[in-house]
């Protein structure tokens, strides 16, 4: 961890971005510092050239001009180095440290040269110069207080030795006090460093959070469009009508419905509800969608119980190790036999709203997918004879577990009672979803998915007979058994 990362909390959140920000800021600040030094040095040099003292002061004047020219040369040397444009932050700090150290040493050397020429030594004469080099560097350079002390520590040591060395005979106590309190001139620069980095860190975090939030929302919007592309479109072939309503708790959710209509006209529905919410659940749904597509592509006539067996095997092999499970309800509507075949694993009961107005429940036939290994998982298959106008309503647990402001569940009895509504709504999924939204006052705590499958009327095709379908199912059963091996 660098010194900047220890001093700035933004490093912990956006380390890579913050390092780049500090690096660019330090490069800009270093260039501006060098330009400021050159301008100030040129002004000082011009003033010295225009104000030439008496012959007795020529020596002092020459020393001062030489020191100014040397300081400008040092700054130009560091400013024009080629590697500065591509230098890392650590290298920039190193160059700045060397430059300040050389400039400070030049000032001290100039002062000592004047002392050796006969000018009396003043204990505090060097302090303003050290203060100047430190404060100007801290104003322009975004470095930490510790980094700003790197060039100043050796300079302060040299200054302290000079003060004590020139006052060994008399005034030593005053010199010692000066050395003790002299480093206080560095406090303004240290305060500037701490204040600037703290403020910049806070502003940077605010900017990055806003930028990342908008980027995340855009990414989630794109992810949602891709996720929703997996969902089927409403279906109506004149014999079977399918529709659904999906209200995810967040941009993405863990509820999913899969529709497959085989070439023979059988309609297969698979409703899934995986553990968790949000992006993690949506990623799981994406994997299960691929598995369902594979199953239907290889076994187009797989029955609901066979689909559950294959899904349970897939979840055991790939998802259980991540503590991911799922409930599922699989339905096949056979318009030739006027028959509904149903199998569910740990899923809330579906309802069959008969054209007569009565309601039948389709209970779960197996445990939650992933809870048992392949050789332990078993499921049954329920059949239900349909009449034209009968409608099957499936849903996820977000419907019955919706809570109102007082914390009361909507519950299964209320949903069962709602299914007896007369006259029935034209669109059961929209009607139930809007009822749940009113109950929860729009504060959903889970994904809500409601689907309906309406048997409009029987289908007849002379090319598709019961014998043909049964023979195809027998082949499917054989392939399922082979796959399970």
Record the tokens describing residue 285, joined without a space: 């749904």
Where residue 131 falls among pLDDT bands split at 50, 70, 90?
very high
Confidence tier at 120 by pLDDT (50, 70, 90): confident
Contact 360, 383 (CB under 8 A): no
More confident position, 304 or 473: 304
The gap from C-alpha 451 to its chain's centroid, in whole angstroms, comes to 33
Question: What DSSP string describes 201-250?
Answer: HHHHHHHHHHHHHHHHHHHHHHHHHHHHTTSPPPEE-SSEEEEEEEE-SS
Average model confidence (pLDDT) for the chain? Answer: 84
pLDDT at 173: 81
**Domains of the chain listed by start with CATH number:** 3-212 (no CATH), 230-484 (3.60.40.10)
Q: How far apart are CA 180 and CA 168, in angstroms?
A: 16
Residues facing 273 on adjacent strands: 255, 327
Q: Listing from the earlier edge strand, what are the strands of the sheet with 350-353?
A: 235-236, 240-247, 448-455, 391-395, 350-353, 359-362
**Tens digits of residue pLDDT in 235-254:** 999 999 999 999 887 767 78
Indicate the SS3 state at residue 135. helix
Can you give the pTM of this predicted structure? 0.60
pLDDT tens track for 12-63: 445 566 777 788 888 899 999 999 999 998 898 888 777 654 444 677 778 8
| pLDDT band at 118; cut points 50, 70, 90 | confident
DSSP state of 351: E
């Amino acid at each position: 961890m660098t010194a900047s990362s220890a001093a700035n909390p933004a490093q912990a959140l956006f380390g890579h971005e913050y390092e780049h920000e500090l690096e660019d800021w330090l490069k800009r600040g270093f260039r501006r510092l060098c330009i400021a030094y050159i301008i100030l040095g040129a002004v000082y040099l011009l003033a010295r050239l225009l104000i030439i003292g008496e012959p007795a002061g020529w020596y002092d004047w020459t020393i001062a001009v030489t020191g100014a020219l040397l300081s400008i040369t040092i700054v130009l040397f560091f400013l024009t180095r080629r590697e500065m444009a591509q230098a890392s932050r650590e290298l920039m700090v190193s160059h700045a440290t060397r430059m300040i150290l050389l400039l400070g040493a030049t000032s001290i050397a100039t002062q000592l040269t004047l002392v050796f020429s006969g000018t009396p030594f003043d204990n505090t004469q060097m302090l303003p110069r050290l203060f100047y080099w430190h404060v100007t560097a801290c104003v322009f350079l975004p470095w930490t207080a510790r980094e700003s002390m790197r060039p100043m520590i050796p300079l302060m040591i040299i200054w302290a030795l000079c003060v004590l060395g020139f006052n060994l005979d008399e005034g030593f106590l005053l010199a010692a006090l000066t050395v003790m309190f002299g480093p206080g001139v560095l406090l303004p620069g240290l305060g500037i460093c701490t204040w600037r980095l703290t403020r910049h860190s806070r502003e940077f975090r605010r900017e990055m959070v806003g930028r990342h939030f908008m980027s995340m929302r855009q990414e989630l919007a794109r992810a949602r469009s891709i996720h929703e592309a997996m969902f089927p479109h409403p279906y109506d072939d004149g014999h079977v009508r399918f529709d659904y309503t999906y209200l995810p708790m967040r941009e993405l959710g863990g509820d999913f419905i899969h529709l497959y209509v085989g070439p023979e006209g059988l309609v297969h529905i698979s409703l899934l509800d995986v553990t968790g919410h949000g992006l993690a659940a949506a990623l799981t749904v994406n994997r299960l969608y691929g598995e369902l597509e594979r199953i239907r592509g290889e076994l187009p006539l797989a029955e609901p119980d066979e689909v559950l067996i294959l899904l349970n095997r897939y979840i055991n092999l790939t998802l259980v190790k991540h503590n991911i499970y799922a409930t599922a309800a699989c339905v096949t509507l056979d318009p030739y036999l006027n028959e509904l075949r149903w199998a569910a694993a740990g899923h809330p009961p579906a309802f069959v709203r008969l054209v007569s107005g009565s309601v039948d429940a389709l209970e779960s036939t197996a445990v939650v997918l992933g809870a048992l290994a392949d050789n332990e998982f078993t499921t049954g298959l329920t059949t239900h004879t349909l009449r034209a106008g009968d409608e099957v309503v499936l849903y996820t647990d977000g419907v019955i577990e919706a809570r109102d402001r007082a914390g009361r569940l909507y519950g299964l009895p209320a949903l069962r009672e709602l299914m007896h509504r007369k006259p029935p709504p034209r669109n059961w999924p929209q009607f139930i979803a809007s009822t749940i939204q009113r109950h929860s006052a729009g504060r959903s705590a889970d994904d809500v998915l409601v689907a309906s499958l309406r048997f409009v009327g029987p289908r007849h095709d002379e090319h598709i007979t019961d014998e043909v379908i049964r023979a195809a199912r027998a082949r499917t059963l054989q392939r399922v058994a082979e796959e399970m091996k």
